Structure formats: C-alpha cells, structure tokens
Amino acid sequence: MKWTIFFLIGMILGIVPDAHDLINRAVDAVSIRDLLQISDLSELSNFWNSLNNIKYDTGRLLIGKTGGSIWSKATIPKNDEWTVEFVFRSSGIDKDLAFGDYNGLSLFLVEDKTSNTANFGGPDKFDGFQFLINTKEKQGLKIFANDGTKKVENSLSDSIGDCQFVYLNSQVPFNMRISYSEAQSIFKVQIDNNLCFKTDKIKIPNKLKLGIAGNVSPASEEMFEILKLKTWDYMTEDAIDDHGLMSDGELKIAYKTVVEDRNQISTPAQIRESLHEKNRKFQEQLAKDSTNEFDRSITFDSSRYNEIIQQNNRLQSRLDSLETILLNLQKDNGQVVGNDKTLENFQNTITTQYAELLESIARLNQKVISEVREQQFTIDELGKKVDLLMNHHKEIKFQNDKPINTYEAASNTIRYILFVIVFIVLLLAIFVYRLRHDIKHSKLL
C-alpha cells in the first residue's frame, strides 16, 4: 500500500506518467502530433503521408483551392474498440453554399487508401467509411460506408446517416468524435459531444487507416483548417457519455439510436454540460467580443485574460489539494483508506480528475494562443489600412505641392490680350474702309 501511495503522489507531481498516457503511446502512429509544437509539415512524415497541396501554417493544416490530403501509414492498433477525435474549422461564408458540389472536407477510415482524388480530395472507391463535411443538400455531416466495389455519389440518399449543423460563418472549431466497440455493439458519431449517429448493426472485422482529404472550388475562397486528430484504442469517457442530440443544428433532450430502419428511440443518461461544451461557448463569446471590438477600436480586453488566469488558478488549486490529500495519506500509512476496494475507487477518482485537469489546462492554453493569434491578425489588418491611408495622403500632398510656372501663365495671358487687340483693330479698319466707301459713293450721286 505504501508503494501505491508513492505512485499516486508521483502521478500528481508529474514524476510518473498518467495512466491514460501509458495507453496513448500505442496510438501515436495514428494521431497527429500537437500542431503547435512543429514548424513544418515534414515533421509528420514518420507516421503520415501528405498528398497534393495540403499546407502547414502556425498550429494548423490548411486545405484550399487545389485540394490536399494526409494519410496515416499505420492502422489503428485494435479493430474491436477505438475512439477518434477530429477538430476542424471552415473559413467559409454564406456565398460558399453555392459550391456544395465542389467544397468538402472528409475524414476517412479505410482498409487502404488509393491515389484517386475525385471524391473531395479522396478516393471515390474505398473499403471503409467516409465522414463528409459539406453543404450539398444539407449543411453538416454525411456518413458513407463502402466495400470498395462502387463509387460514392455523396448524396443523402446514399448515406447511412447524417446530421445537420451550421459550420459556415463560424469563428470556433468543431469537434467530431467517432467511436466503436464490438463488445458493446456501438458505432457512433458525436459533434461537440452531441450525438449525431448511432447504430448497433456495424461490425468492423479489420484494422483501419485514417485519412483527411478536402477540396475547394477555384471560384471559392473557403479554407479548411485541421487543428487536431487524436486516436485512442479504447472508448473514452466522452465517447461513452452522450450530452444531447444534434438535430437540425439544435440540441435535443432525447436521441435516436440509428439502426437499419432508424425507428428505435432511446433516452440518454443525465445531460450535463461538459468541459468541452463550456470551452466551446467561451470561445464563441471571445469571437463575438473580438468582432465587436474591431468595429469600435482595436484593443485588448483584459477581463477575458483575467478570467482565463482565474480558471487556471482554480485548476492549480485543485491539484494542490489533491497533493495535500495524498501526503496526508502517506503520513497516516493508509489509515484513511480502510480497505482495498475504497483505495481502488480513490485511485480511479484521482486518475480521472487529474486527466480532466490536464485537458482543461491544455484547452485554456489553446484559448490564450487563439486569442493572441486573432488579435495579431486584427493588428496586421489595421496596419495595412494605416499604410494605405498614408500613401493616399502623400499622393494628395504631392499634387498640392506641385509648383506653378508663373512665367508660362503670364505669357499665355499676354497672347490672349494681343489676339483680342489685333482682332479689334481689324474690325475698326474694316469699319473705316466701309465708311469712306459709302461717303465717296454719296458724293458721286
């Protein structure tokens, strides 16, 4: 028991790795590294193959007009249970609704990939699943299953499931989670922790590879951003817990369990707001505040950073409390925990809370990075506008400061006056001539 207590203390202090980290090491080959920790796409080449024109830019992978894709070299270690989380964002706006036949982002789970890119940057024939984000027929997600013998047409009638949500004009990313358990007969898809699709009729016999592919029409300015792809060889807590139903882009209280006839109804466990959902709402508020501030002036709102700092302090306080509890347990030599069952429950609680704390801290850091990036972008845009105004001002000043040639102006004026005088003299001469002629004529008469 003494060694167990030392292990728990070491886990809190970071001396020994988290229990989840021990499992995660087995799936690094099918998870994309933290994109904030790399500087070039080539750093992913050990485990991933990139095709066409997928690019890396400051913590994200970008897929634009020429399309692109990235494919795992390895398969998911287990085929009987796993979870995949995919975080993405689109820069598209309302006018991109017209490009539903061309713009799309797909996550593939396939037995093997091909070089074909006719299906939104990925293969139109594959053995596995395609999870397509686009605006064709409905804006949101369509799920396709294929055995590799036919081409996918990407229509709702050919999909095995779908859910509608608005991802255009969004300033925040979306989290798509796909999970599978053969023992529990579960295959489900969640969007931001809300259930989108679920069935007990799918069995996956083989290990699958992961791929992300996208395509954008040359006439569109939409850009797809890939922020995270992580894989576990078990069903995570969030994958097991359904917080609500995605239906027509809204959260419902009950969800539909999708089977072959799609008629079976079930009620979820108690709906609660997860850390991810809180983070989502907080990011939406940050984006809204940032937009309003740009209309008024470019300033930093310190209250938002104070809130982030306060949350981080609260998380640190919880870690300190857990450390204190474990130190007291060490002194009492296990007297607080009276039996093995209680100790086991306590160990599970500590492990779960510590994992949640680490995840929350990572999300808070991501919020700060995203906010700084947005503010930097805003300042750059303002700088461009200031430069444009300065250039315009210089041009006007140059025109106003251009010297006037007074000599040339005086010469032109004198010419005009002389011309008028000569013209008047000619008129007088003609008048005198006519007058004399008339006088002579009168004398003759």
State the pLDDT confidence band at 270, using cuts at 50, 70 and 90: very low
Phi-psi region of 20 (alpha: psi -120 to 50; beta: other; left: phi over 0): alpha
Where is average pLDDT lowest: 50-59, 246-255, 323-332, 361-370? Answer: 246-255
Please tell me the distance from the alpha carbon of residue 258 to that of residue 266, in angstroms, as a whole number.
Answer: 10
Tell me the per-residue pLDDT of 320-329, one tens digit each, with 9 for 90 and over: 677 677 666 6
Please tell me the distance from the alpha carbon of residue 47 to that of residue 15, in angstroms, as a whole number.
Answer: 28
Where is average pLDDT lowest: 80-84, 401-405, 406-410? Answer: 401-405
The mean pLDDT of the chain is 77
Letter for the amino acid at 385?
K
Q: What is the mean pLDDT of residues 246-269?
A: 41
pLDDT of residue 354: 78
* Closest listed residue to residue 316, CA positions, set 326, 327, 304, 308: 308
Assigned token pair, 312: 């981080």
pLDDT of residue 242: 76
Q: Which residues pair with 20 in a beta bridge?
A: none
The answer to whether the CB of 285 falls within 8 A of the CB of 277 is no
Tell me the per-residue pLDDT of 146-201, one tens digit each, with 9 for 90 and over: 988 888 888 888 999 999 999 999 888 999 999 999 999 999 999 999 999 999 99
Where is average pLDDT lowest: 11-20, 41-50, 286-295, 318-327? Answer: 11-20
Q: Is the pLDDT of residue 78 over 70?
A: yes
CB-based contacts of 199-204 (< 8 A; 24+ apart in sequence): 199/160, 199/161, 199/257, 199/258, 199/259, 200/257, 200/259, 201/259, 201/260, 202/145, 204/79, 204/180
pLDDT of residue 232: 95
pLDDT of residue 364: 81
State the pLDDT confidence band at 252, using cuts at 50, 70 and 90: very low
pLDDT of residue 292: 54
pLDDT of residue 346: 77
What is the residue-wise DSSP string for 144-162?
EEEESSS-----GGG-SEE
What is the residue-wise DSSP string for 169-227?
T-SS-EEEEEEEETTTTEEEEEETTEEEEEESS----S--EEEEEEE--TT----EEEE
pLDDT of residue 260: 41
pLDDT of residue 210: 95
pTM for this one?
Answer: 0.54
- Maximum mean pLDDT: which of 194-198, 287-291, 408-412: 194-198
pLDDT of residue 351: 79
Please tell me the distance from the alpha carbon of residue 188 to that of residue 254, in angstroms, as a whole number.
Answer: 15
Please tell me the distance from the alpha carbon of residue 110 to that of residue 206, in angstroms, as a whole number.
Answer: 9
Q: Is the pLDDT of residue 249 over 70?
A: no
Assigned token pair, 37: 């920790």
pLDDT of residue 31: 94
Where is average pLDDT lowest: 208-222, 261-275, 348-362? Answer: 261-275
pLDDT of residue 20: 43
